[in-house]
Amino acid sequence: MKFSIKKNILLENLNNVSHAVSNKNVIPVLGGIKFELNEEGLYLTATDNDIDIQTFIEKKYIDKVEKNGSIVIQGKFLLDIVRKLPDGLINFEVIDGLKIMVYTTNSNFNLNGIDPSEFPNLNIEKSKNPIILNKKIIRKMVNQTIFASSTQESRPILTGLNIKINDNKMECIATDSYRLAKKTITLNNNVDNLINIVIPSKNIGELVKILTDEDEEIKIHIFTNKILFEFDNLLFQSRLLNGNFPDTSRLIPTDYKIKINADLNELFNVVDRASLLTSEKDKNVIKFETNGNILTVTSNTPEIGKVEEKLPINKISSEDIKIAFSAKYMMDALRTITSKDVKILLNTEISPIILNNEENDDLIQLLLPIKTY
């Protein structure tokens, strides 16, 4: 393999595949990036056995191809090297079979490579009828939900994001069993079969890091045990989690006794300040109490002190309520709301708290109250 390529083109592609480079040192080849140069162009591939990423650089973007071939180069070092080389052409040349020279006029790196035959076969497949979605919409959907996933391996299925598609309705749900985030999207095309899969939240979080915030399309190919995202010159594959995601539909009430409208920023600041005197080990508990159109938020940690915040609200109900919950979870949920006001829907002090955008409920944030007595 011998070729030359502009630094900025290579770096962009290396940055993208680097999200699948393993930083565990157990299997050396998984810490590498496979370079594969053929008649069409250059394929760069990385996998940590959980996420697989492949990018393709067309031949017209490669400045000089002298010899096709392939090799695996240690990802961490290569990325640092390319980042720190000056702008301009970078030359690659495999010598003695398993050594790779990376050089410019004044710099010459001679790296130990790994035999490409040791690189895992990724079995990247495409389906006939992929789902088409917009990058911006996926980014938003993921960012509004995955934070509610569990990070505990005790119930592995809850570390994933549940995606259900029925006709043209797509639901995306994450829950750690104390809170739940659910986003509903309308697809442009109908899907023939019901789809109900669980993607590891960590993996789809990596996908979102690569996605630009543009109105461009992504093709999504779904299989029984894996999912492939296809966009730009890139393929991003993730395994799926086995098992049944809990049916959460009955958790979300359909009717509410108390509906509150509050200014989003003001409510966030009030909760944020009330949480200052709470402690992580006590789950950052704060209390809400309505009194007509005044919301009082309090917390009390005897060793430190107590706080009381008041906020004007618009309450549609003559009933008042006292309810306690985790300030951290409330703030996580409020961060995903994008309207000026937030809708808070309540029933009793022991039933779930629902947060919505002011105008619509395509996003539902649910948190369970905490009993404090």
Q: Does 269 bind its own copies (CB under 8 A)?
A: yes
CB neighbours of 204 closer than 8 A, spacing ≥ 6?
142, 146, 161, 238
Residue 246 per-residue DSSP state: P
Contact 320, 289 (CB under 8 A): yes
N-to-C CA span, the chain: 71
**Residue 67 binds its own copies (CB under 8 A):** no
Contact of 131 with 38, CB cutoff 8 Å: no
Tell me how crowded residue 327 is: count the other CB atoms within 10 A of its CB: 23
Say which DSSP state 213 is in. Answer: S
User: Which residue of 8, 23, 38, 108 would you call a contact of its own copies, by CB under 8 A?
Assistant: 108
In angstroms, the CA 85 to CA 183 distance is: 43
Would you count residue 314 as binding its own copies (CB under 8 A)? no
Asked if 81 interacts with its own copies (CB under 8 A), we say yes
Question: What DSSP state is assigned to residue 212?
Answer: -
Of these, 208, 311, 331, 368, which contacts its own copies (CB under 8 A)? 311
CB atoms within 10 A of CB 307: 18
Which one of the spans 73-81, 114-122, 249-257, 323-331 is the region binding its own copies (CB under 8 A)? Answer: 73-81
CB of 192 or CB of 303, closer to its own copies:
303
Query: Backbone phi, then psi, for 31, in 5-degree steps?
Result: -85, 5
Q: Is 120 in the site for its own copies (CB under 8 A)?
A: no
Size of the site for its own copies (CB under 8 A): 30
SS3 of residue 68 by DSSP: coil
Least distance CB 119 / its own copies (angstroms): 19
Candidates 5, 33, 44, 85: give the one binding its own copies (CB under 8 A): 85
33 binds its own copies (CB under 8 A): no
Between residues 132 and 294, which has the closer beta carbon with respect to its own copies?
A: 294
Q: Which is nearer to its own copies, 258 or 307 (CB)?
A: 307
Which residue type is seen at 256?
Y
Which range, of 7-15, 196-204, 215-223, 309-317, touches its own copies by CB under 8 A? 309-317
Nearer to its own copies, 26 or 194 (CB): 26
Site for its own copies in 129-188 (CB under 8 A): none
Contact between 281 and its own copies by CB under 8 A: the answer reads no
Residue in this structure with the two tokens 């996605």, named with its chain if needed: 211
Report how far Cα 217 is from the mean position of its chain's Cα atoms: 17
The footprint of its own copies (CB under 8 A) covers 74, 77, 80-81, 84-86, 99, 106-112, 269-270, 272-273, 276-277, 303-311
